């Protein structure tokens, strides 16, 4: 059954360890058969770096430089690369597959899960699109010249 109602939690600005602990607690206490899906909104204070679940900090960051700059490092329970969180609105979603329309791929599931963001941005008059949809046919999305705090040279 598709979920029409979601629980909204706005925790405001919190430090990195607290943000990650709340995300972990929401997931650990979620029962797919009976829990209402959750959308959590939050920010980061102070700014922090979050590592993907399987990343090795020493391989992707200059840890001494991060320490000298006073930039906290935390680990997310999800995969992906290093993210610098400063003045951004972050969201986390906790739901079961039964709360979503059937999807044929992870990318399609991602689109279902994040479509509310595009709709919200468009309601504000912004021309919001997925970056991959703006590419010419056959082109690949690649980040170039990205600067990351504390990254090894």
Residues designated catalytic: 150
73-75 and 48-51 beta bridge pairing: parallel
- SS3 label, residue 127: coil
- SS3 label, residue 3: coil
CA 1, CA 136: separation in Å to the nearest integer?
37
- SS3 label, residue 7: strand
CA 95, CA 29: separation in Å to the nearest integer?
11
- Tell whether omega for the bond before 46 is within 30 degrees of 0, i.e. cis: yes
């Amino acid at each position: 059954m598709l979920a029409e109602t979601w629980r909204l939690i706005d925790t405001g600005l919190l430090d990195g360890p607290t943000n990650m602990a709340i995300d972990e607690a929401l997931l650990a206490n979620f029962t797919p058969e009976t829990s209402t899906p959750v959308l959590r909104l939050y920010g980061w204070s102070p700014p922090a770096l979050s590592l993907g679940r399987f990343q090795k900090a020493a391989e992707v960051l200059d840890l001494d430089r991060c320490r000298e700059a006073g930039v906290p490092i935390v680990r997310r329970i999800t995969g992906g690369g290093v993210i610098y969180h400063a003045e951004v609105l972050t969201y986390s979603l906790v739901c079961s597959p039964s709360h979503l329309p059937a999807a044929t791929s992870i990318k399609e599931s991602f689109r279902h899960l994040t479509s509310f963001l595009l709709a919200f941005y468009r309601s504000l008059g912004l021309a919001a699109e997925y970056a991959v949809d703006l590419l010419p046919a056959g082109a690949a999305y690649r980040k170039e010249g990205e600067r990351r705090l504390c990254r090894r040279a």
